[in-house]
């Protein structure tokens, strides 16, 4: 996969030289280029922002440096290649999820446009649709100062799904959100630490029991911390023991979906 990032703070992306993503770059699994938006300005001050039409606080990123930079990135591809995906981090975009990460990990080329100030002149996104598949994407319902932090998070989430990046691909299968649930709690040695015991089942060597305990812990944790995730959970084929586990948490299976019983206690009721 090839990734291009355009930003006025290229140094912000330096952590992408570290750890698994850095190694993936060294191993040639991921090509990542960072471009300075100011290199595509034409005035002495390398200006990238101006006041907003209609008035109001803050500054808006000027369209021309963006068009110049994105055109340069778009031009750098074989004529027959598909349009790259242009991801525009924005709190007003679609929510970035593990499903988005999987979808984007299938692409050959991604381009990220890091906004600053009040964002990028909207016409850039209209113009860019001629060269890219444009996707405004939000990291969550809060406002960051710029798109760089969002890009660090997205590139890490996408990059670790590329074949060969994570040593043991099994670890990707059992993670939080891979099956619509949060991951079970994990423990390592020693088995007794500061008078706290590791759950006995994990020391039993009984793989069936361990798998069931982990699944039930996923249910418990998700019900406690993210009950919203259970609304979409496909419960149609749950074995009896799992239905019982959900019943203990206050959920019944109705038409293949989990429904919280009206008489169930706790915060998520």
Shortest distance, position 100 Cβ to ligand SAM, whole Å: 12
Q: Check residue 138 for interaction with ligand SAM (CB under 6 A).
A: yes
Within positions 69 to 88, which residues make up the interface with ligand SAM, using CB under 6 A? none
Euclidean distance between CA atoms 113 and 137, whole angstroms: 11
Cβ proximity to ligand SAM: between 125 and 181 the closer is: 125
Q: Check residue 41 for interaction with ligand SAM (CB under 6 A).
A: no
Q: Is the peptide bond before 174 cis (omega within 30 degrees of 0)?
A: no
SS3 187: coil
Q: Check residue 7 for interaction with ligand SAM (CB under 6 A).
A: no
Q: Which residues contact 212 (CB under 8 A, 6 or more apart)?
A: 241
The dihedral built from the CA positions of residue 87, 93, 98 and 100, taken in this order, carries a sign that is negative
Shortest distance, position 145 Cβ to ligand SAM, whole Å: 6
Q: Check residue 89 for interaction with ligand SAM (CB under 6 A).
A: yes
Contact 180, 233 (CB under 8 A): yes
Within positions 96 to 135, which residues make up the interface with ligand SAM, using CB under 6 A? 114-116, 118-119
The dihedral built from the CA positions of residue 154, 157, 159 and 161, taken in this order, carries a sign that is negative
CA-nearest of 26, 24, 27 to 159 is 24
Which helix H or strand E contains 124, and what residues bound it?
A: helix 123-128
Say how many residues touch ligand SAM, by CB under 6 A: 19
Structure-token match 């060969």, residue found: 164
Shortest distance, position 139 Cβ to ligand SAM, whole Å: 4
Cβ proximity to ligand SAM: between 86 and 258 the closer is: 86
Q: Check residue 150 for interaction with ligand SAM (CB under 6 A).
A: yes
Q: Where on the chain is the footprint of ligand SAM (CB under 6 A)?
A: 89-92, 114-116, 118-119, 138-140, 142-147, 150
């Amino acid at each position: 996969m090839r990734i291009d990032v355009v930003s006025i703070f290229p140094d912000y992306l330096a952590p992408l030289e570290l750890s698994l993503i850095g190694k993936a770059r060294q191993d040639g699994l991921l090509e990542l280029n960072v471009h300075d938006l100011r290199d595509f300005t034409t005035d002495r001050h390398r200006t990238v922002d101006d006041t907003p039409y209609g008035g109001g606080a803050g500054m808006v990123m000027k369209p021309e440096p963006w068009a110049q930079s994105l055109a340069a990135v778009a031009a750098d591809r074989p004529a027959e290649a598909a349009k790259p995906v242009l991801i525009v981090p924005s709190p007003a975009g679609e929510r970035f999820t593990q499903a988005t990460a999987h979808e984007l990990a299938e692409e050959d080329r991604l381009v990220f446009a890091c906004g600053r100030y009040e964002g990028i002149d909207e016409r850039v996104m209209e113009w860019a649709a001629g060269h890219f598949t444009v996707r405004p994407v939000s990291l969550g319902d809060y406002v960051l100062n710029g798109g760089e932090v969002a890009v660090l998070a997205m590139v890490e989430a996408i990059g670790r799904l590329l074949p060969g990046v994570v040593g043991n691909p099994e670890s990707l299968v059992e993670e939080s959100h891979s099956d619509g649930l949060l991951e079970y709690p994990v423990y390592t040695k020693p088995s007794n630490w500061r008078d706290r015991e590791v759950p006995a089942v994990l020391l039993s060597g009984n793989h069936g029991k361990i798998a069931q305990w982990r699944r039930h812990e996923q249910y418990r944790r998700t019900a406690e911390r993210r009950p919203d995730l259970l609304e979409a959970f496909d419960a149609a084929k749950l074995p009896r023991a799992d239905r019982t586990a959900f019943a203990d948490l206050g959920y019944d299976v109705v038409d293949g979906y989990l429904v919280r019983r009206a008489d169930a206690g706790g915060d998520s009721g």
